[in-house]
């Protein structure tokens, strides 16, 4: 979630404004802040006149990549919390963030301080540090969630490759089978040559749980066929082919 601006509005006047974006602030001038504050106060007053409309909580700016989300305080009249954020962020997460700011703001300052505010700019300046901390917490939480998704993806990949049941045949048995293959018609898939679609530098241990699968993975070079890899590993050609089919499904290789 990328929060760009936080504005707290009271009676149509910006009580507090904080910018977190490296780019130019969306409402950089005092006149802009006063105008947008009055606009949102008017919107909330308008929605109050029609019970069936519900409350307005989000707007999108057509000439900008930003969205506007705002939360009206239920305990103090004409107190509104406004956030600007990028299009990739979910509005529901921004609303949750605004509720967190609202609850903390009302705990830090009593109702009299807020309702009797007369427009002095620095009255609530210290609250900016709390907002900054919340933004940092949100960034850290997003990073943790991303890492959890990556781990979950890796685990899902491991579960899909159920090659632990593939048992290597003994060398003597393998020699007999390969000789038999030479005497009989060689199956078509024995001649398939697996070729990597992704970087060979990827460590197969992150994706493959079986030792045989890891060995097959490491022997794929885009030149050897299924039967050649099986000979080098003393493995059953059919089992090597099954492993390669799993790798194809996962998008690691394709067959030539």
**3-state SS, residue 4:** strand
pLDDT higher than 70, residue 236: yes
Task: Indicate the DSSP class of residue 23.
Answer: S
Give exposure, 87-99, as e/b (b: 16+ Cβ within 10 Å).
eebeeebbbebbe
The candidate with the shortest Cα–Cα distance to 97, out of 223, 204, 206, 5, is 5
CA distance 129 to 227: 66
pLDDT, mean of residues 131-135 = 86
**Which pLDDT does position 49 carry in this prediction?**
57
**Which pLDDT does position 46 carry in this prediction?**
63
> What CATH code would you report for 3-152?
3.30.450.70
Give CA angle at 31 (25, 36), nearest 5°.
Answer: 70
CA distance 189 to 36: 68
Provide the angle, in degrees to the nearest 10, between the axes of the packed helices 171-183 and 237-249.
90
pTM attached to this predicted model: 0.50
Instruction: State how far the alpha carbon of 153 is from the alpha carbons of 49, 142, 156, in Å.
Output: 49, 17, 5
pLDDT higher than 80, residue 113: yes
Tokens of 222: 């885009």
pLDDT higher than 60, residue 232: yes
pLDDT, tens digit (0-9, with 9 covering 90-100), for 192-228? 888 887 776 777 667 777 888 888 888 888 888 888 9
CB atoms within 10 A of CB 128: 13
Which residues does residue 70 pair with via DSSP β-bridges, in sequence order? 82
**Which pLDDT does position 19 carry in this prediction?**
82
Task: Indicate the DSSP class of residue 7.
Answer: E
Q: Which residue has the higher pLDDT, 158 or 190?
A: 190
**Which pLDDT does position 108 carry in this prediction?**
92
**Which pLDDT does position 52 carry in this prediction?**
58
pLDDT, tens digit (0-9, with 9 covering 90-100), for 51-108? 555 666 777 766 667 788 888 888 888 888 888 888 777 888 888 889 999 999 999 9
**Which pLDDT does position 20 carry in this prediction?**
78
pLDDT higher than 90, residue 142: no
Please state the domain extents for the chain.
3-152, 171-255
């Amino acid at each position: 979630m990328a929060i760009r601006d936080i504005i707290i509005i009271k009676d149509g006047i910006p009580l507090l404004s904080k910018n977190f974006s490296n780019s130019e602030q969306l409402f950089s001038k005092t006149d802009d802040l006063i105008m947008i504050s009055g606009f949102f106060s008017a919107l909330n007053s308008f929605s109050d006149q029609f019970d069936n409309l519900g409350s307005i909580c989000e707007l999108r700016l057509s000439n900008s990549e930003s969205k506007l989300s705002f939360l009206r305080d239920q305990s103090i009249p004409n107190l509104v919390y406004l956030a600007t954020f990028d299009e990739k962020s979910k509005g529901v997460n921004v609303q949750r963030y605004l509720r967190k700011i609202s609850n903390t703001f009302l705990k830090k300052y009593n109702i009299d301080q807020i309702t009797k505010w007369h427009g002095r700019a620095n009255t609530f300046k210290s609250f900016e540090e709390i907002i900054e901390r919340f933004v940092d917490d949100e960034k850290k939480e997003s990073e943790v969630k991303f890492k959890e998704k990556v781990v979950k993806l890796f685990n899902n990949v491991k579960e899909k490759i159920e090659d632990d049941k593939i048992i290597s045949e003994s060398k003597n048995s393998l020699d007999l089978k390969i000789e038999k293959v030479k005497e009989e018609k060689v199956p078509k898939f024995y001649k398939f040559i697996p070729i990597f679609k992704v970087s060979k530098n990827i460590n197969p241990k992150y994706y493959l749980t079986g030792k045989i699968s890891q060995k097959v993975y490491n022997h794929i070079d885009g030149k050897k066929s299924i039967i050649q890899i099986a000979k080098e590993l003393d493995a059953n050609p059919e089992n090597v082919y099954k492993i390669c089919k799993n790798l194809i499904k996962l998008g690691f290789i394709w067959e030539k």
